[in-house]
Chain A
Amino acid sequence: MSRLPEPTGSTGLPEQTHSAGSRTRSDQHESATSSDRGDQGDSPTLRPMSYRVARSTRSSRLFSAALGVLLITLISLPWWADNGPMRLIAEMAYFLALAQLWNLLAGYAGLVSVGQQAFVGLGGYTLFALTDWYGVHPLWALALAGLMAALVSVPVALAVFRLRGAYFAVGTWVVAEIFQLFVAQVPRLGGGSGYSLTPAIVRSIAADRGTRDQVLYWIALALAVAVTAAVYAVLRSRHGLALTAIRDSERASRSLGVDTWRTKLFIYVVTAGCTGVIGAFIFLLKLRISPASGFDVNDWTVVVIFMVVIGGIGTMEGPIVGMLLYFGLREWLADYGSWYLILLGAVAVVVMLRAQRGLWGWVESRFGLSLFPIRRQLVILPGTGQGESRE
């Protein structure tokens, strides 16, 4: 009887990055017999049954190997590529992180927020204030900005959780607008015109520009990987089970012991905290923040929703596909001015009409592919138990 660690938390990252061929793939229960239930008279066909619970698929194991190779390539990029691709990939990385977080929030917890820019801006401003006023090192300030966003999200949740559906969406947006108006009133934060990081703070990351770009690039990669791994770990854990249950039937999940309110609060706060870190990082890259740029609904929420919905909401793969599509279109159409936005809109319309579950949703239903398996498959070992239903 081999008992392997529970497939939660810690297994999320290794599974994804370098566990192809490793043995920590399933929980195995050899000869879990049902003969100890012999007192029941209704089912004479019962025989001892062996089974295991599988969490990964062949395609997911191949994918995690490919992902490992890709990741090593990306990590080594600064040594063989110049600044252009590095900057683009850093931007792709933080947008991927934002998209994964919004997908967790809206696609899994059903909290369709249009106000995540509140936490992007809050994170950004927290980093600027901490580094400038208190001389905190920018890398520490990243973590503290996340903590700040998570703390602030608790009272925000208490207010917006009273709202449902479309009202919730509008409510979150209003909160973000309030944050923006509030920040614009604070002269020490640059008021309405904005705020720049001083050269001394920028130099504290690394003395020369080349090293600094490298460090920031690696942080962007690390954030994208960490957020993706964290979302994956949450979805594979019992929280993920509860989230999917709540999404399918809130009432039935309560009658089965799921605390729907606390589960949603947990996801909201975690998402806000992570969004705060990403926000702080974005403005550490940009070196300048203003109320309009920090709390921009278009940049930090609308674009992210485009990625998630077009890629496939409610799947882990969707945000990746959507992010790649968005950046592909943007790079390709960069020279066509406003045609770029028109085409982006056209793509959104076509995808929504042709594949309502997004591009990955279509791939999933067409080919049954799953690169981030979160389901638990019950595998009956051959020759044990009953082979077929008694109906």
Chain B
Amino acid sequence: MASLLELDGVSKSYGALKVSDQLTLAVEEGVALGVIGPNGAGKSTMFNLITGDVRPDAGRVRFAGEDVTALPAQRRSRLGMGRSYQIPHPFANMTVFENLLVGAIFAGRRSERSSYEHCAQVLEWVGLLAVANRAAGSLTLLQRKRLELARALASSPRLLLLDEIGGGLTDHECQALVETIRSIHARGTTIVWIEHIVHALLSVAQRLVVMNYGQLIADGEPHAVMADPRVQEVYMGIAAA
């Protein structure tokens, strides 16, 4: 299977701090890839480099066979990259429904009218239909997390990047979200998911990479990766949970 996403020697430094160090990674179409690593390992930076929120100092980013290294974030999203932010960024003064319309119209390149139907269906899918007309700023944390997901889905992405979408949720809430993510993957969307809640991640991920100091230190089948002594060392007990 061809790679949907390829990072080729991508580096980024802030002063002396290397947040991404010669990062090379290929993600096949249709796979669910999990990303773990300690705080400050460069996981979110990797997402920002993929989506174009941050430009690399060196290296190339390819998406769907195209070199997107020079493209700004909005152009990459129109090619089919959807993302959720670690801290939800809802459009607080718009309704939930309109939040989705933005994704469907601008990144999904749909007409406004065809977006109405599409977004209503996505809302129903992720369980936000009942709050469709509420201001996004008034949502609970779980609803905000769902909105991040729904908004990215509204753009019909080929690649969905999830940044700690389970963070801050109760076990029960997280489980419900995992089910939704599993159904998104089942429909053929490629997923790259950063998550500290390892058991949630492992229930979906088919492949796992571990980051530390801006580098990949392990890559492979999730349970084999978790058993790797280097990973155990980095995680110091977190992985054993």
Contacts and interface: CB of A to CB of B under 8 A. Distances in A.
Interface of A: 3, 6, 8, 27, 29, 32, 34, 37, 39-43, 46, 49, 51, 53, 238, 241-242, 244-245, 247-249, 251-260, 375-378, 380, 385-391
Contacts of A377: 95, 97, 133
Contacts of B239: none
A378 B132 contact: yes
A257 B183 CA distance: 24
- Residues of A contacting B: mostly: loop
A366 to B, nearest CB: 16
Contacts of A40: 125, 183, 186-187
A32 B102 contact: no
The interface size bin for chain B is 35 or more
Nearest to B93: A248
12 contacts: A41-B186, A42-B180, A42-B183, A241-B105, A245-B91, A248-B94, A249-B91, A253-B91, A255-B74, A255-B77, A259-B74, A378-B116
A8 B105 CA distance: 14
Contact of A388 (B72, B117, B130): B130
Contact of B127 (A49, A376, A378, A389): A389
Interface in B154-197: 155, 176, 179-180, 182-183, 186-187
B120 A256 contact: no
Contacts of A385: 124, 129
A256 B107 contact: yes
B214 interface: no
B74 A254 contact: yes
Interface in B100-115: 101-103, 105-109, 111-113
B98 A375 contact: yes
B113 A27 contact: yes
B147 to A, nearest CB: 10
B128 interface: yes
A386 B124 contact: yes
Given A6-B113, A256-B155, A376-B95, 18 more contacts: A6-B111, A29-B117, A32-B120, A41-B186, A43-B127, A49-B120, A241-B105, A248-B90, A254-B74, A255-B51, A255-B73, A255-B83, A256-B77, A258-B106, A375-B94, A378-B97, A378-B116, A389-B129
Nearest to A5: B113
B121 interface: yes
Interface string B49-78: 001010000000000000000001110011
B43 to A, nearest CB: 17
Most buried by A among B108, B127, B152: B127
A355 to B, nearest CB: 17
A254 B77 contact: yes
A238 B105 contact: yes
A90 to B, nearest CB: 35
B230 interface: no
Contacts of A259: 74, 106
B94 A245 contact: yes
A372 B61 CA distance: 45
A253 B142 CA distance: 21
